[in-house]
Chain A
Amino acid sequence: MLNGFTLALVYALVALGLTLIFSIFEIINFAHGEFYMLGGYVTYLGFAVAGLPYLLTLLLAIVVVGLVGLVSERLIFRHLRGKTLNAFIVSLGLLWVLQAGAQLSFGVLDKSVPSAFAGIIRLGGLIISVERFVVVLAAVGLIAVLYAFLQWTRLGRAMRAVAQDPDGAALQGVNIEVVSMVAFAIGCALAGSAGGLLAPLFAVSPAMGALPVVKAFIMIIIGGMGSLPGAVVGGLLLGTVEGLGSLFFSSAAVNVLGFLMVIAVLLVRPRGLFGAA
């Protein structure tokens, strides 16, 4: 169970990025999974190929993917605020560009990334590999850093203001352009960090972003789109349901369960558990 929890936490990072972007831009970025994939490849290149220390490559993944996100925002997404449909197509285009780019650069086969930490920890009756334990710590750490940023820095507070009420925030003198840019970059960086964290566990491949992004969507719908605590809670909830479900049902049935949960939430309480009305 603890291991399912590990995965859910990391996917929650992806979900946080997705929902952060949604809260500012009101668009659904379908290419979000590709930023996750980029983070994985940066870690692969840094750690498996260049032999840099793992934690450094994780940091590198965050920075590089954040920068790519920044560029994407400046060139593409800043023109699409609020335009759900066009943003959907554009993000699809970006998805294809990034995925094809990865395939052409790295080939289509899975590339493995060695484990950064060996060994097993016993906590009471629970057994968890050191590797996964580090992943949990890192994920929790990143979530804590994000929280601190949003609560206690000026830019973070400005971001929350824009998410709640862009016009009001503008009247208060907030620079919407800068805030949006940073938000997008952070959202992508979060996805990249998740990719970097899971790379040693699951290897990297150009199509690796497809599954996490779907899971992230389910999480933010349950938790409430645009809500950051919602993303985390949604993540843990989905992880729990899927973990329990897979004990009794086939994997296909568990997938159906996830989507049925989405439908139920959207019908009964579209704003999710924590979303704004």
Chain B
Amino acid sequence: MNWNIDMENAREYFKSPWRVLIYIVLVITALLWFVPILTALITSVRSFDDILTNGFISWPKTITFENFLTAWNRGGLNKYLPNSFKITIPSLVLTMFFSSLSAYALARFKFPGNRWIFFTYVGGMLLPFQVLLLPVLRLTDFLGLYDTYWGLIFFHTAFQLGFCTFMLRNYMRTVPSEIIEAARIDGCGEIRIWAQIMLPLTLPAIAATATLEFTWIFNDYLWAIILLRSDSLKPITAGLATLQGQYVTDWPVIVAGALIGTLPTLLVFLFLQRYFIEGLTLGSTK
């Protein structure tokens, strides 16, 4: 990962005064955006007593990293983090796989029912999901999947299909038809076209969607609470919520735990974002 601020490039960039101005505005905006996160970081290194006595917005009297340890142990993060992955990764893979198939079909073929199927996918996104909690629970229980990973995975896969198909279909429509036609004339099977042409060409969209999906599925906790009964299967979001009591909530510990919880998503973002950076030259046909 190249973190170096390339001085050559920088000098190039700052040639015009407009650019300098834009950059300054960008920096100020970025700093403003960062302030709440900074507050979170500072809170995570304070002790609860410190906050109680001195208020939330004040410089920490002492710095402690104990909150992270407490979050890890009491919040059970060492137990729950693997669970989060066991739930998120299969869901992510399955939903991306199925939605890219659907998107390709919807984007590139004229057939009766195309619009209606598309509208169905979008329609499923319109309901506030809380109302689905009990119906889906009943379904899951009926299928014998209550309190299992697969119950949750199937749900996430299905539910995210709406957004992903919508996204990918629209991006796939921007791929010039000549390329597809050329491949078809060449006698390529549709699966090959899908896998070797369409997917690589819509990589930025896939990477962006995957990043967003990872964020959402990983951060979900309401569904985990409803579809899972046992402690041992909980993802970290539910585990962190347990740090909230009826009367007392150990805020610094929760913040510390939440910060730990952001790391996987940030890593995914950093890993995938180069795919929205790598430009693809669409000039060529192969």
A and B are partners in one complex rather than unrelated chains: no
